[in-house]
Amino acid sequence: MAVAGIIQPTRGTIMKHIVALSMLITSISIGTTATASESSMRPGQWEVTTQTEMVGVPMQIPATKDMSCITAEEINKPFMGEMDAGCTLEEIEKTANTHKWKLACTENGQKMTGTGTFTFSAESYSGVMEMSMTQDGQVMNMKTTLTGKRVGDC
């Protein structure tokens, strides 16, 4: 059944894509965080809140909070070029405290495109990623908002 031009995926398909996209979004957000050395982002324990909205899908993903220890080595490690095979990540803009990028992935008949913007400081960051995924003629649009704050040492 289509709602506003978007085909409603089955519950199983949704959950499979949620797991895959959650892993990708987590790696992008941590990796993008790791490129923020120019913003004087401080190593330490970070609390990250993630909220994902799926357009046209009645079952929504609840917000999650995760803790992550980010080291100085990770902050200084470049992220670009570390994507899985089948994915490309292109920087659109990179300043001392803002990173904008485009993502495109194709694997097993599944296509995903997206954009993201992250803004950093020494003690916090925020970001928005908008993704569109197509598989077997079904389209799923998602918007993920991430916020991170340094909560102390590791």
pLDDT for the residue numbered 77: 66
pLDDT for the residue numbered 110: 81
pLDDT for the residue numbered 84: 65
- Checking if the pLDDT of 109 tops 50, the result is yes
Sign for the CA dihedral angle at 99, 65, 34, 40 comes to positive
| Average pLDDT over all residues of the chain | 74
pLDDT for the residue numbered 17: 46
pTM value > 0.75: no
Residue pLDDT, tens place only, 75-92: 776 554 455 677 787 777
Q: Residue 76 has which token pair?
A: 């200084």
